[in-house]
Amino acid sequence: MASSQLDLIELLRAIDPEAPLAERHLWLMRLLDWVRGDTEDPDMAVARVRMLIDAAEVRPEWLKLWHHWWEEFLTTIDATPLLADLGFAPQGALMSELVHRLRRKLMPPTPETTDLSELFPLLFPTDFDAKWLRALDARTLTRLRTVLFRAAPDAPPPNINDYAMRTVMDAVMFAVTQICAIGHSTAVRMRMSEDAKRERAFAQLPLAFVTMREAIQAHGRQSAPALIAIGQLREQLDACRAAASTVYTHLEEHGISVHIEFQLRQLRQRIIRVKALLLCLETDAPAQATTQLLSHLVRVDQDARSLRALMADNTELLAAKVTERNAETGQHYITRNASEYLHMLGAAAGGGAVLACTTWIKLVIGSLGLTAFWAGLVAGINYAACFVLIMLLGWTVATKQPAMTAPAMAARLRNIGAPGAADDFVDEVVYLLRSQFAAILGNVGVVVPVVIGIAMLIERTAHHTVMDGYHAQYTLAQHQIFGPTALFAAATGGLLFLSSLIAGWVENWFVFHRLDSVIAHHPRVTRWLGAERARRWGAYWRQRISSYAANISLGLMLGLVPPVLGFFGIPFEVRHVTLVAGQVGAAAHEIGPQVIHRAMFWGAVGGIAITGLMNLAFSFLLAFRLALTAQNIGAVNRKRLYVALRRRMLRQPLSFVLPVRLKHRPQATEAEPDAAPASDAPVGGDKPLEPPSPPR
């Protein structure tokens, strides 16, 4: 503590009210750094604040210098942008905010500024600042206000209030202006409900602010007319928020726009900011309210620097819509009884027959001697065409469905607090895994004999083999269980997941722009197809667009990702269980019956098994985590689900691969909710305030 006192004395001596702007701000940064200390203990920081006050009280000459310094600070710095705009996008668009945050990470602000919002991150750079500010007690705050902080010398007459009052009022005015701008934008206004449009909440908001300002100027901020006007402004803000929430109903039906969702989130957060400023106006303890507001702004500034938080916050609703649309498609790939299980086996057998042809076409493409990119493009077109053919025939490609069906399972998690919800979820996992076991069994069980049959047909008709002995040995060596097969298979599972995201995004884009209506009703289309056929085509593409997008994108990625990564020196090869089984079968046929006596063959058979496992596990895991995030499933309930899943695996292991009847145990208690409902309180608490999740 003695060294801290010596450091404080040195800091106090260094104060210079006449120093250049940057030097004055650097001195304040050093003072706040001394307050923080090295322990990150809020109580120690509060003790240092008291030490600063004690040192100031016994140094009247220093107090004069400080008051002069503080006067210079108030007259040169603009605090309104800090209160009104900190944490909000300057351009009101997601990409511009992304660029802005990236620039802040790469280019830190300068202390030579008159904008307090730019200086603020230098004064309070860590989350710990929010903690020690919130820990300041009422007595310490009172001493701070009476000893160090006084009204500016150029303060206006009492009937207009002081400098702080004017700053807060200006900040409220700026924020209200931004709220009205978002509410009156065409993208938001045209998607409101008819009732919200008639009520014109955003048009009434500026009038409510003017009424409040006039009441405060005429009667004082704590007078009865002022408090009534503040309450009316708060009610009008709630009306604006309710009107904006009706936009989500339109987005749910007609597709999500990340840009609109970003604007709505900005609007909700600005409303919360205005409520925080109103609390500072109406409170009878302004010092405590101001400190809590500063603590809140520190947390907001920390969040405003995070690129990950920006993307997570503003794509949450899009993720929810992607998973919901994929859930509708994914239900078709889940088998729940023996009849559906057998149907899946048949569909997978058909898919395996088509993929046998795909395997040989891929081998032919490899023998053409094309450059890496063109070979990858032709292979991708081959994959995409075969996947689309399988889709049109109603057949199945193994391990492609988990990315689509995991969201269908997560849809059951919306009422996770209900009794039996965990068992219902585990049932969906069981249905999915045994469906995929049937799909893998059907694909692999057919692709191998069909590949061998095609090879025999080629040998009899063309009198030569497509694959020579060297390439057969090379193929077996490339698919060994102890090689990079598992890693490549996991990465291929990631491509399966990515194709489901692309499918959901394309369908959302199709619905958002109402392309089905364009196809059904546009005069050129109806003249070409006829009204009835155009209507059917619109309905068809509305129903099947995601399936086409998933299959085409997956095929092109399987073909193009390896050469693209290879261009950057990253080795990668596609490892899909059915395609691997076909290639291993072709290689084994070329070597002959003696292949079963070679360890390399059995290593490749093990490679087929590990490929299927990794394809299934990674595509499902990634999609399932996305679905959990979209449904806001917290850590407590996630743990409950994992426990239920492990219990089912121990008690009924065969149910994960065969269509046996599931047995349930009655649950004794109801699951607890993840968290308490979100609060609108603008200050206080450990985390930045977030508005309630939009209706889904």
Any domain includes 290: no
Strand, coil or helix: 387: helix
* CATH code of the domain in which 573 resides: 1.20.1080.10
Tell me the C-alpha distance between 302 and 116, whole Å.
16
Any domain includes 625: yes
For 453, the domain range is 320-654
Task: Pick the closest to residue 551 from 332, 348, 380, 362 (CA basis).
Answer: 380
Contact (CB, 8 A) for 672 and 636: yes
The average pLDDT across 525-539 equals 92
Over pLDDT 70: what percentage of the chain?
Answer: 85
pLDDT at position 405, please?
A: 58
Instruction: Give the least confident one: 372-376, 384-388, 435-439.
Output: 435-439
Any domain includes 578: yes
Contact (CB, 8 A) for 579 and 363: no
Residue 78: φ, ψ to 5°: -110, 110
Domains held by the chain: number: 2
Digit-coded pLDDT (tens) for 177-215: 999 999 999 989 999 999 999 999 999 999 999 999 999
Task: Record the tokens describing residue 70, joined without a space.
Answer: 């503080």
At a CB cut-off of 8 Å and minimum separation 6, what does 621 contact?
none
Contact (CB, 8 A) for 88 and 270: yes
**pTM for the model:** 0.67
Banded model confidence at residue 680, pLDDT cuts 50, 70, 90: very low
Instruction: Give the least confident one: 72-76, 140-144, 648-652.
Output: 648-652
Any domain includes 92: no
Any domain includes 377: yes
For the chain, how many helices (H) and strands (E)? Answer: 31, 0
pLDDT at position 691, please?
A: 36
Any domain includes 133: yes
Any domain includes 140: yes
Instruction: Give the least confident one: 114-118, 299-303, 311-315, 472-476.
Output: 311-315
Residue type at position 220: G
pLDDT reading at 389 higher than 70: yes
At a CB cut-off of 8 Å and minimum separation 6, what does 578 contact?
351, 352, 355, 397, 398, 399, 440, 443, 444, 447
Contact (CB, 8 A) for 269 and 88: yes
Average pLDDT, the chain: 84
β-pair partners for 115: 78
Instruction: Give the least confident one: 29-38, 188-197, 272-281, 646-655.
Output: 646-655
| Burial (CB count within 10 angstroms: exposed 0-12, middle 13-18, buried 19+), residue 293 | buried
Tell me the C-alpha distance between 267 and 244, whole Å.
8
Strand, coil or helix: 181: helix
The average pLDDT across 139-160 equals 66
Any domain includes 195: no
pLDDT at position 158, please?
A: 37
Digit-coded pLDDT (tens) for 60-103: 899 999 989 998 898 899 999 999 999 887 765 667 777 777 87
Contact (CB, 8 A) for 407 and 366: no
Digit-coded pLDDT (tens) for 605-641: 999 999 999 998 888 788 777 767 666 676 777 787 7
